Amino acid sequence: MARHSRLETLCYMKSAGLVPVFYHADSETAKAVANACCDGGAAILEFTNRGDRAIDVFNALVVYRDTQRPDLILGAGSIVDAPTAAMYIAAGADFIVGPILDEEVARLCNARKVPYCPGCGSATEVHRAHILGAEICKVFPGGCVGGPSFVKSIKGPMPWTEIMPTGGVEPTEESLTAWFNAGVACVGIGGNLLTKELISKGDWAGIRDKVRQTLELIRIIRSRLK
């Protein structure tokens, strides 16, 4: 089962402002990346269900979390159906993320008090996600559905909406400023943050430092909005 409560997970997403997104077929590499993210200040990771037997790597991450990094909030991403969501929840996922809004997944997560961040690309989908119990809606692909202007457009008539864009977010001052100025609750960043180059070299210190720098950028940008 999940190690972290629904409220704890959602509050951490909002307070940190950053959810690193990652997939790798090797469990030792995945654990090293998770550890680097935690050491960099982001004790949260969305591991995507994007490869054969991805659940095996996720299981290894859960054991690592429970035995060595109890601070790690571990989620499963790219979830598009309830059976897959149930498998990851049974394995110990703290949250579930999907590229689409699936009502069966939403009901399952709501019943188990596991946060569900569905992919939404319209005001209607965001509204439907709210009805189904989603607290933070993922905008995906963020750069293709309108970028920061989409967030502003949604939050105009629906200011209570909490949005996490993924896809089209870069760990730069320009990109992060645009998204947070638009009103996002947090951002999900994958390959632009946890780059193939750093991972292939096993540069865990480089990943740690990049995560730390990104969190500091977010902190500075948010301070300007107060």
The answer as to whether 138 is a domain residue is: yes
Domain assignment present for 224: no
> How much is the pLDDT for 184?
98
Give the per-residue pLDDT at 144: 83
Let me know if residue 112 belongs to a domain: yes
Q: How confident is the model at residue 142 (pLDDT cuts 50, 70, 90)?
A: confident
User: pLDDT > 70: what percent of the chain?
Assistant: 100
> What does the DSSP assignment read for the chain?
--SS-HHHHHHHHHHH-EEEEE--S-HHHHHHHHHHHHHTT--EEEEE--STTHHHHHHHHHHHHHHT-TT-EEEEES--SHHHHHHHHHHT-SEEE-SS--HHHHHHHHHHT--EE-EE-SHHHHHHHHHTT-SEEEETTTTTTTTHHHHHHHHTT-TT-EEEEBSS--SSHHHHHHHHHHT-S-EEE-TTTS-HHHHHTT-HHHHHHHHHHHHHHHHHHHHHH-
Asked whether residue 195 is domain-assigned, the answer is yes
If you average pLDDT over every residue of the chain, what do you get?
Answer: 97
Count up the domains in the chain and report the number: 1
Predicted confidence (pLDDT) per residue in 200-226, tens digit: 999 999 999 999 999 999 999 999 986
pLDDT for 145 equals: 85
Q: Specify the CATH number for the domain of residue 113.
A: 3.20.20.70
Q: Can you give the residue range of the structural domain that contains 70?
A: 6-219
200 located within any domain: yes
pTM of the predicted model over 0.95:
yes
pLDDT in tens, 175-191: 999 999 999 999 999 99
13 in any annotated domain:
yes
95 lies in some domain: yes
**pLDDT tens digits for range 120-136:** 999 999 999 999 999 99
In a domain, 59, yes or no: yes
Instruction: Tell me which amino acid residue 180 is.
Output: F
